A and B are shown apart, each in its own frame.
Chain A
């Protein structure tokens, strides 16, 4: 099921929040993100409206510079929309201050990056515990929870290894465990297989797909057709505008 609206392509589908429109877990309403490049303004997102339901697996595709990262950033609370409303998990992001926004990212979003971004001076376990440190969980509970997450990605036996002692696929799995630590509702993965060979990439993909099947909403930014093909839905971003197509693999 696709709840989709975009300015331009399908103006008739345009949703006014709360008015005759099914409430998704993620809702963008006429969102514009403008960057200033020198003298000119550049719309990375141009009046975007869309809805993503809880438990969906959405792939965001598009050429470089199309605005797909901006879209993910605006949804995940790393960036703020210039105008329009972004509602995630009943929270209107533009109304959050830095403190609340950080809490939002910590509690609601799990991030997986292309280059893993693990702390090299820390073990796998310590890396997974990091978001729990930020959420002030007590050391005992945080260790239990982190081990739980490592087990979930099949790396419970590598808890004491540093990233340099792990393979690329394992590192990305540690990163996924870290993203899961605070039990977020939404996993945002930016080219999660981009730095992996195809075999490891598939493993990682399978892992996050499994997670999705268990209920987590999945937002994957990717160039990779084979990744996108696994999504329920593909949102394509071009010049700051989105078009969406349902996809059932």
Chain B
């Protein structure tokens, strides 16, 4: 018998018991739809994550930290107070790492723990927590933006890139585009001596700090708080390090309290133990150079190192570790995330498989019924010259067609559901970036092949039973 004839005869039999065939197919459709949706979701989220990594350059980045085992967070405020014995990341170390082979660039970051003197961000009556991160604006770090521009190497001070959350909290609605060009203020603690402070030759009386009061002690504590203007140049895309304010590295250092008077003589009767004033600054103010500041304080929070090819990530990372620093590759982070996606996919896929296994029992049941109902027809076909193998193939083909149709419609319905559900899912992702959620061609093939194979397997037993029927018994069957 020709293959086309098998197909024609199978389809005809399925059409004859239409309701039963449709119900059997429906069971397979449910399983196939489930598998299609689940696997498409997982694979497209995975490729989305990979894409984001590649686009932001994180796929070729190494995050260097003072302590080991920090999770990857290129701009986040992730360095805790320096533990004793921790090697700090000095400008020299940065230069050393920048000279490693395959390293194309290094960006240093410094966060709140650099010791800056900003108490809060302010615009009008809104005050916000100052989670300030300074970084070297170069080709290494690419921050995804939804409005304005990122920091550039020519930015020195007085500019800021906000995250969408900050922009919204400051009253700039929507994408935050209205914030671009506006000036917000960094409000300093009293006693601020960083960039922008007027360093007088006469200090006001020292302020005594009672417990819980927000002030800084020391000879400069009488200096006033300032509002440092910062022009908003960009707004970071939603979902990216949402609670951070980015400023140029130099400014982040500059707004620290690094300037100290050389010597202070207080006017009140020789008592220079504090509490009285005003005092005379003798010998002017000393402002240590950047490198000295970093060496004396906690150093850079972290470095982001970029290599020319992701193949050299791990070798470069291990060289950095040999220097005594923590080094986490974007790749390893990515692997973690994709592994998580894989596990989700595996679990969801297993559920789909269970649904398909149940559907397989349905196919088997349908086929056994079909063999029983058509016993006499089988006898007739045998009399007319059908071989055992012909009968076996005929029923196997029927089961296989059930599986194929179930898979086909499952994929189709799954695709439609994904298409309809896309707007809902898109809301969970940053503006304009959504996982594609298109069923990949390989998945179409795999799902249909799988259900067809399941149909084939479910048809084995019934079709063998059909083939084994004695033609005479079969012809006599009522």
Complex formed: what's the CA distance from A107 to B472 in Å?
Answer: 19
Binding site for B on A (CB under 8 A): 73, 76, 78-79, 98-99, 102-103, 105-107, 109, 111, 113, 117, 119-122, 130-131, 133-136, 139, 178, 182
Q: Tell me if B377 and A119 are in contact (CB < 8 A).
A: yes
Cβ of B9 to closest chain A Cβ, rounded Å: 8
- The contact sample of 9 A-B pairs, CB cut-off 8 A, is A79-B472, A98-B388, A102-B386, A105-B382, A113-B475, A130-B381, A130-B384, A131-B384, A136-B1
A-contacting residues, B293-346, CB 8 Å: none
Cβ of A40 to closest chain B Cβ, rounded Å: 19
Cβ of B254 to closest chain A Cβ, rounded Å: 88
Cβ of A189 to closest chain B Cβ, rounded Å: 12
Q: Tell me if B2 and A105 are in contact (CB < 8 A).
A: no
The 8 A-B residue pairs whose C-beta atoms are closest, nearest first, are A106-B385, A102-B387, A134-B385, A131-B384, A121-B16, A117-B380, A111-B383, A133-B5
Within the complex, which residue of A113, A122, A135, A139 is in contact with B12, where a contact is CB–CB below 8 Å?
Answer: A122
Binding site for A on B (CB under 8 A): 1-2, 4-5, 9, 12-13, 15-16, 376-377, 379-390, 471-472, 475
Find the residue from A99, A122, A130 having the highest chain B CB count within 10 A.
A130
Q: Which residues of B contact A131 (CB under 8 A)?
A: 384-385
Q: Which residues of B contact A103 (CB under 8 A)?
A: 385, 387
Q: 7 new A-B pairs (CB below 8 Å) besides A78-B382, A98-B387, A134-B384?
A: A99-B387, A111-B380, A111-B383, A117-B376, A120-B16, A121-B12, A134-B381
Complex formed: what's the CA distance from A109 to B383 in Å?
Answer: 9
Q: Which residues of B contact A73 (CB under 8 A)?
A: 472
Cβ of A88 to closest chain B Cβ, rounded Å: 14
Complex formed: what's the CA distance from A44 to B12 in Å?
Answer: 38
Q: Tell me if A105 and B12 are in contact (CB < 8 A).
A: no
Q: Tell me if A182 and B385 are in contact (CB < 8 A).
A: yes
Q: Tell me if B386 and A134 are in contact (CB < 8 A).
A: yes
Complex formed: what's the CA distance from A178 to B379 in Å?
Answer: 15
Complex formed: what's the CA distance from A2 to B199 in Å?
Answer: 139
Cβ of A164 to closest chain B Cβ, rounded Å: 12
Q: Which residues of A contact B376 (CB under 8 A)?
A: 117
Complex formed: what's the CA distance from A117 to B380 in Å?
Answer: 7
Cβ of A97 to closest chain B Cβ, rounded Å: 10
Q: Tell me if B388 and A105 are in contact (CB < 8 A).
A: no
- Interface residues of chain B: helix, strand, loop or mixed (majority): helix
Cβ of B130 to closest chain A Cβ, rounded Å: 79
In the complex, which residue of chain A has the Cβ closest to the Cβ of B385? A106
Q: Which residues of A contact B388 (CB under 8 A)?
A: 98, 102
Q: Tell me if B384 and A106 are in contact (CB < 8 A).
A: yes
**A-B contacts, CB under 8 A, total:** 68
Q: Tell me if A133 and B387 are in contact (CB < 8 A).
A: no
Complex formed: what's the CA distance from A109 to B471 in Å?
Answer: 15
Q: Tell me if A105 and B383 are in contact (CB < 8 A).
A: yes
In the complex, which residue of chain B has the Cβ closest to the Cβ of A76? B383
In the complex, which residue of chain B has the Cβ closest to the Cβ of A73? B472
Q: Tell me if B471 and A78 are in contact (CB < 8 A).
A: yes
Cβ of A77 to closest chain B Cβ, rounded Å: 9
Complex formed: what's the CA distance from A134 to B380 in Å?
Answer: 12
Complex formed: what's the CA distance from A122 to B384 in Å?
Answer: 16
Within the complex, which residue of A102, A113, A122 is in contact with B385, where a contact is CB–CB below 8 Å?
Answer: A102
Q: Tell me if B2 and A133 are in contact (CB < 8 A).
A: yes
Complex formed: what's the CA distance from A120 to B1 in Å?
Answer: 21
Complex formed: what's the CA distance from A129 to B396 in Å?
Answer: 22
In the complex, which residue of chain B has the Cβ closest to the Cβ of A99? B387
Cβ of B362 to closest chain A Cβ, rounded Å: 22
Q: Which residues of A contact B16 (CB under 8 A)?
A: 120-121
Complex formed: what's the CA distance from A109 to B385 in Å?
Answer: 9
Q: Tell me if B1 and A105 are in contact (CB < 8 A).
A: no
Cβ of A102 to closest chain B Cβ, rounded Å: 4
Find the residue from B12, B13, B385, B388 having the highest chain A CB count within 10 A.
B385
Contacts A133-B1, A134-B390 hold; do A105 and B472 have CB atoms under 8 A apart? no
Q: Which residues of A contact B389 (CB under 8 A)?
A: 99
Complex formed: what's the CA distance from A107 to B385 in Å?
Answer: 8
Q: Which residues of B contact A119 (CB under 8 A)?
A: 377, 380
Contacts A117-B376, A134-B390 hold; do A111 and B384 have CB atoms under 8 A apart? yes
Contacts A73-B472, A133-B5 hold; do A121 and B13 have CB atoms under 8 A apart? yes
In the complex, which residue of chain A has the Cβ closest to the Cβ of B15? A121
Cβ of A82 to closest chain B Cβ, rounded Å: 14
Q: Which residues of A contact B12 (CB under 8 A)?
A: 121-122
Cβ of A134 to closest chain B Cβ, rounded Å: 4
Q: Which residues of B contact A178 (CB under 8 A)?
A: 384
Complex formed: what's the CA distance from A107 to B16 in Å?
Answer: 29
In the complex, which residue of chain B has the Cβ closest to the Cβ of A108? B385
Find the residue from A105, A133, A135 having the highest chain B CB count within 10 A.
A133
Q: Tell me if B472 and A78 are in contact (CB < 8 A).
A: yes
Q: Which residues of A contact B472 (CB under 8 A)?
A: 73, 78-79
In the complex, which residue of chain A has the Cβ closest to the Cβ of B376? A117
In the complex, which residue of chain B has the Cβ closest to the Cβ of A137? B2
Complex formed: what's the CA distance from A142 to B359 in Å?
Answer: 38
Complex formed: what's the CA distance from A76 to B377 in Å?
Answer: 18
Cβ of B474 to closest chain A Cβ, rounded Å: 10
Q: Which residues of A contact B387 (CB under 8 A)?
A: 98-99, 102-103, 134
Cβ of B390 to closest chain A Cβ, rounded Å: 6
In the complex, which residue of chain B has the Cβ closest to the Cβ of A134? B385
In the complex, which residue of chain B has the Cβ closest to the Cβ of A184? B385
Q: Which residues of B contact A135 (CB under 8 A)?
A: 385
Q: Which residues of B contact A139 (CB under 8 A)?
A: 4
Complex formed: what's the CA distance from A79 to B16 in Å?
Answer: 30
Q: Which residues of A contact B382 (CB under 8 A)?
A: 78, 102, 105
Complex formed: what's the CA distance from A191 to B376 in Å?
Answer: 17
Q: Which residues of B contact A98 (CB under 8 A)?
A: 387-388
Q: Which residues of B contact A79 (CB under 8 A)?
A: 471-472
Q: Which residues of A contact B385 (CB under 8 A)?
A: 102-103, 105-107, 131, 134-135, 182
Find the residue from B2, B13, B475 having the highest chain A CB count within 10 A.
B475
In the complex, which residue of chain B has the Cβ closest to the Cβ of A188? B383
Complex formed: what's the CA distance from A15 to B258 in Å?
Answer: 128
In the complex, which residue of chain A has the Cβ closest to the Cβ of B374? A119
